[in-house]
Structure 1
Amino acid sequence: MSEDVYSQSCPAEEFNPCSPDILDQHERIKKDVAAELINSVPNPAFILNSDRRIILYNETLSAAVGEIRENMILGRRPGELLRCCNSRKNWCGEAVPCVQCGALRAIQTAMTGNRAEEECMLLSNVDGQVKAYTFKVNASPIKIKEEQYFIIHLTDISDSKHKEMMERVFLHDLLNAVNGITNAGTLIKEDAVKSEHRELAGMIVDRAKFMANEIDAHRMFISAETRQLEINNEPVIVKQVLESVSAFYSGSQIAKDKNISLESKIEEFALTTDKRILYRIVENLVKNAIEASPANSTVTIKAESKNGHALFTVSNQGTIPMTIAHQIFKKSFSTKGKGRGLGTYSVKMFTENYLRGRVWFDSSQDDGTNFYVEIPLSPSADPLEVDPCPRRLQN
């Protein structure tokens, strides 16, 4: 980038960012902070003085902004160096929109003596071209020779945020389209005269509902992974959840040669939890059990209340080899091929991260495979003690 671009990104007032004071600070800090140390950081990193001006930086930063000349980096504030649109007519941090800047909030928090992590959405303008970035900004206070400074690390998460946004938009639009198919199929089914037409319309509605359920489950998984899933606790009748899951899969294609048995003596009890998450946990366990079961076998669903907890058990007649057992909860691990393996991982994530419970399993030739989920009957601020290992594994 040319020097003209830099001059355009700063206010018209006369100012030399690389002043003697800045150079003096730079030389002193350079002696006390090994250049190799800050250059070992793979992301752009720099040290600010109390005026939020850069006095030391790593090579990754200079490569990211396309500038190798020290006098064009030293003394600038982050927004000025990154060509933030708000810095074209004001100094970085002094424009009205700057109060919403995640980078400024992180730096200000560091100035109070605390570490901070924020997301910064920045519009950059270079040669008249506007480009959007999203950075994760980590800021920490650091004392060097009794002087206070602040070390900043930038991680460009623009691609991952864009992917996340596009995935959400895609799933939202896809779900709307599938719901449209469901509604249209329902109308056809109601108006059909011939029984074969009603049956065909019913099949369309069932498949569309299955697709909508899968899409909604994926949306929830993404929210949970990104820690954006909000808990909505409410009274839940356990038997109703199990009956709903059982009915849903009993008529599905994946269970066409399997049986799903809901224990007839399930006691009538309720718990206070997030119904959507509980449903997904049980649903994933039942789906996995169906897929792992031999043909013409039975998947059994049980639930009981004891010692202030609800215990759910999903059993199938298959067995899990020892070579697979210790990887069963790992993300993306699957015996079903590439692109699978989120089922048991999601069960563990939802149970332990959101419902403050625990999940485990046992497997043997005599008893088949049993997955257990235990969650409190009422929400608790303290998680249960989690045992990540299977209780009993036999071949």
Structure 2
Amino acid sequence: MFSYPYLTVATYMHSLNQNTSILIVDDDPNAFDVIEAHLYREGYDLFYASSGEEALNLLDSVEPDVILLDVMMPKLNGIEVCRTIKSDSHWKHVPVIIVTALNSKEDLARSLNAGADDFITKPVSGIELRARVRSMLRIKQQYDALEATLRLREDLSNMIVHDLRNPLTNILLCSDLLLQTSTNGKDLQRLQIIADSSRELNSMIDNLLMLAKMDSGKMVLNRTFVDLNELVSTVTLQFQSISEQKNIRLISKLGESPESLLIDMNLFHRVLENLISNAIKFSPPESLVILRVSYHDESLSSDFPNSKAQLQIIDSGLGISEERKRHIFDKYEVGDLMSGVSQIGLGLTFCKMVIEAHNGRIFVEDNQPQGSIFTVIL
């Protein structure tokens, strides 16, 4: 039975009990004095920025819970500042209240279209200001509480997945030992199923743990110069027995490698494992799976001018619908369900995150007359 430290949402909510920070952005210092006079009894930590540029530079140090933003400022006006803040995934959840002397519907519409959450007109009413700030703080606190719950659930899931490694390692070790000593035909077949299923489960656990590291920003790429042809050949050989069991021909077509690529070999090894495993899994018997590697492909030069290599995994399966293609790389998204085929929806997400971490691209196209082509651009 697994045991874990006592974790509750309250642990994650501890940070929410710290003082509330409000960033006031206005090129007129008197405006700050007015707002400070209206809010001083509320116990907020107030910070002042005299320009849009200064406000953007203060975000990391202040970490505001609410931003009061003037519109009419020189150089970078409030609407532009608001649009910049809301385009940043780290800050877009922070409520922005536009404080303006403008009162036309067009100006208010522009502010809301830029992402503003609320607005208040000058001269500022103390009662209205306090009410609107409290309203925005409730929204921010609800968002923070939801984020805390999601982080707790994610952390608990990762802890459980990590602890699954120990019993699974024992299963793999014992099944491998028995495979070496067993001579009975039926027992040997059953042990092989146990061993193969355990390896598949181990691969899923590895994907989950690596995705968790990438999501948290803790995944560090260990880049070395790698011969892509050699890596593809190694992984292809690894899957030959599996493809032969399904009566599928697995072949590689390697271009002449002009140079080694600076990539994380272990991560790319797993990318290739995922892509080849999927191709074999979804291809019918008596079909063909091709791994094609090319370098400095002229057909790609216009769309990907800095690309050094292209890797394609070509199968003859059922293919992927246009609707599925738009979401196939999303976490837990799977293609069309197939009977007897394990589909978790993590492998392609992992591939996409690794490839994009290397500043590459992955996409899927139709293989004529049937099947799919997964293309990796590096």
| TM-score bracket, shorter-length normalisation | 0.5 to 0.7
CA distance in 2, matches of 1:140, 1:321: 42
Question: Which whole-Å deviations, capped at 9, do the CAs of 1:133-162 have from their partners, x for residues lacking one?
Answer: xxx983779767699999753321222111
| 2:286 aligned with 1:296 | yes
Partner of 2:250: 261
Contact 1:261 1:299 in 2 (8 A): yes
Partner of 1:329: 328
Q: CA deviation at 1:309?
A: 1.0
Q: 1:215 aligns with which of 205, 224, 242?
A: 205
Q: CA deviation at 1:189?
A: 4.3
Partner of 2:174: 184
| 2:96 aligned with 1:106 | no
Q: 1:360 aligns with which of 360, 363, 372?
A: 363
Partner of 2:114: none
Question: Which whole-Å deviations, capped at 9, do the CAs of 1:98-122 have from their partners, x for residues lacking one?
Answer: xxxx9995249979x9979999xxx
Partner of 2:354: 350
Question: Which whole-Å deviations, capped at 9, do the CAs of 1:215-271 have from their partners, x for residues lacking one?
Answer: 10122233334554333322223234323433444444x874242423265545531
Q: CA deviation at 1:178?
A: 1.0
Unpaired runs of 5+ in structure 2?
Answer: 1-16, 18-30, 46-58, 71-80, 101-121, 298-306
Contact 1:312 1:374 in 2 (8 A): yes
Contact 1:302 1:313 in 2 (8 A): yes
Partner of 2:42: 75
CA distance in 1, matches of 2:255, 2:202: 29
Aligned partner of residue 226 in structure 2, secondary structure:
strand
Distance 1:328 1:285, change over 3 A: farther
CA distance in 2, matches of 1:310, 1:165: 37
CA distance in 1, matches of 2:161, 2:44: 40
Distance 1:237 1:77, change over 3 A: same
CA distance in 2, matches of 1:210, 1:279: 15
Q: CA deviation at 1:364?
A: 4.7
Q: CA deviation at 1:373?
A: 0.9
Q: 1:272 aligns with which of 250, 262, 271?
A: 262
Partner of 2:156: 166
Q: CA deviation at 1:343?
A: 4.4
Q: 1:373 aligns with which of 363, 370, 376?
A: 376
Contact 1:106 1:138 in 2 (8 A): no
Contact 2:313 2:374 in 1 (8 A): yes
Aligned partner of residue 263 in structure 1, secondary structure:
strand
Contact 1:258 1:290 in 2 (8 A): no
* Structure with the largest fraction of helix: 2
Distance 1:311 1:257, change over 3 A: same
Q: CA deviation at 1:358?
A: 1.9
Distance 1:330 1:304, change over 3 A: closer
Q: CA deviation at 1:327?
A: 3.2
Aligned residues: 268
Unpaired runs of 5+ in structure 1?
Answer: 1-9, 11-31, 33-48, 56-73, 79-101, 120-135, 376-395
CA distance in 2, matches of 1:334, 1:369: 11
Q: How does 1:4-23 map to 2 (within 5 A)?
A: none
Aligned CA-pair RMSD: 4.7
Partner of 1:318: 317
Contact 2:363 2:374 in 1 (8 A): yes
**Which AA in structure 1 matches 2:210?**
M
**Which AA in structure 2 matches 1:369?**
S
Distance 1:104 1:349, change over 3 A: closer
CA distance in 1, matches of 2:98, 2:222: 41
TM-score of the two chains, using structure 1 as the length reference: 0.53
**Which AA in structure 1 matches 2:94?**
N
Partner of 1:15: none
CA distance in 2, matches of 1:326, 1:198: 40
Distance 1:290 1:200, change over 3 A: closer
CA distance in 1, matches of 2:183, 2:123: 87
Partner of 2:94: 138
Aligned partner of residue 235 in structure 1, secondary structure:
strand
Q: Which moved more, 1:357-366 or 1:162-171?
A: 357-366
**Which AA in structure 1 matches 2:224?**
E
Q: How does 1:41-52 map to 2 (within 5 A)?
A: none
Contact 1:258 1:296 in 2 (8 A): yes
| 2:296 aligned with 1:306 | yes
Question: Which whole-Å deviations, capped at 9, do the CAs of 1:76-103 have from their partners, x for residues lacking one?
Answer: 459xxxxxxxxxxxxxxxxxxxxxxx99
Q: CA deviation at 1:314?
A: 0.7
Partner of 2:10: none
Q: CA deviation at 1:341?
A: 4.4
**Which AA in structure 2 matches 1:355?**
H
Give percent identity, aligned residues only.
17
Contact 1:301 1:312 in 2 (8 A): yes
| 2:240 aligned with 1:241 | no
Contact 2:247 2:287 in 1 (8 A): yes
Aligned partner of residue 171 in structure 1, secondary structure:
helix
